[in-house]
Amino acid sequence: MNTQKRLNGNQIKLIAIVAMTIDHLTWAFFPGTQAVWYVFALHVIGRLTAPIMWFFIAEGCHYTHDLKKYAGRLFLFALVSHFAYNFAFGIPFMPFKTGIFNQTSVMWPYAWAVVIVIVSKNEKLPQWAKFLITVAISIIAFPADWSSIAAMCPFYLYVHRGDFKLQARDIVLWSAIYALVYFLFIDKLYGLLQMCTALSLPILGQYNGQRGQWKGMKWFFYLYYPAHLVIIGILRLALHGDIPIIF
């Protein structure tokens, strides 16, 4: 615990929730990858969310009493969130009808990130088996929002817990990989946008190691995430009809 640092876990998670909501509302009101400065600026704010969530998935792996139960809870959450996410953005519930990108929510790779941690801690598995399992998990997580990055980066943040310089490097490196894929295959401008995840580093650098007084933040997020996506989906239908708004 560092008392000189000013932000507890709840406060940082709240920043992530607000940034995520702004980002998703921007997709609803301004569909697609629009090269308009104020739309772009709103999506820049949204880049704060992913690295903060990666960081706290790693923290969750450290503090949980049962990694398997933690993974199971996230998988259940990922199932519920799949339908909310796809409804929000106009993506068919059945994967791969519209391609291989953004086929389900980021909660899917988050759950797999915990599985990677579990595998890494299994002393009975040889290193080659751990490597192959990790590759398989990366492939399984690839079609989700934030793709395999959202499974791999939390794992490395867990491994490097206690060394914020290494964690910052992890966030920048894995964001750069995602940005490159986005740049090459989806949209060049919005590929560059993904590097704005680095703006989260000054915020995460102020983390004091404390959870915060309110113990309900975890359950609040579990309810808020799918609920706000349903509202985004209703807005999408009201504003644009039944069309996809994210590409």
pLDDT tens per residue across span 88-109: 999 999 999 999 999 999 999 9
Q: From CA 226, how far away is CA 41, in angstroms rounded?
A: 24
pLDDT higher than 80, residue 65: yes
**What mean pLDDT do residues 46-57 have?**
98
pLDDT higher than 90, residue 173: yes
Mind listing the pLDDT tens digit for each residue in 67-88? 999 999 999 999 999 999 999 9
pLDDT higher than 90, residue 4: no
Q: From CA 176, how far away is CA 191, in angstroms rounded?
A: 9
- pLDDT band, very low/low/confident/very high, at 17 (cuts 50, 70, 90): very high
Query: What tokens does 165 get?
Result: 């310089």
Chain-centre distance for alpha carbon 14: 14
Its pTM stands at 0.96
What percentage of the chain reaches a pLDDT higher than 70?
99
pLDDT higher than 60, residue 238: yes
pLDDT higher than 90, residue 205: yes
pLDDT higher than 90, residue 243: yes
- pLDDT band, very low/low/confident/very high, at 3 (cuts 50, 70, 90): low
**What mean pLDDT do residues 131-141 have?**
98
- The pair phi, psi for residue 56, each rounded to 5°, is -85, -15
**What mean pLDDT do residues 117-137 have?**
98
pLDDT higher than 80, residue 216: yes
Q: From CA 213, how far away is CA 17, in angstroms rounded?
A: 18
- pLDDT band, very low/low/confident/very high, at 2 (cuts 50, 70, 90): low
Mean pLDDT over each residue of the chain, to the nearest integer: 96
Count Cβ atoms within 10 A of the Cβ of residue 244 and give its class: 0-12 exposed, 13-18 middle, 19 or more buried: middle
- pLDDT band, very low/low/confident/very high, at 158 (cuts 50, 70, 90): very high
Q: Which residue in 147, 130, 129, 146 sits closest to 138, CA to CA? A: 147
**What mean pLDDT do residues 101-127 have?**
97
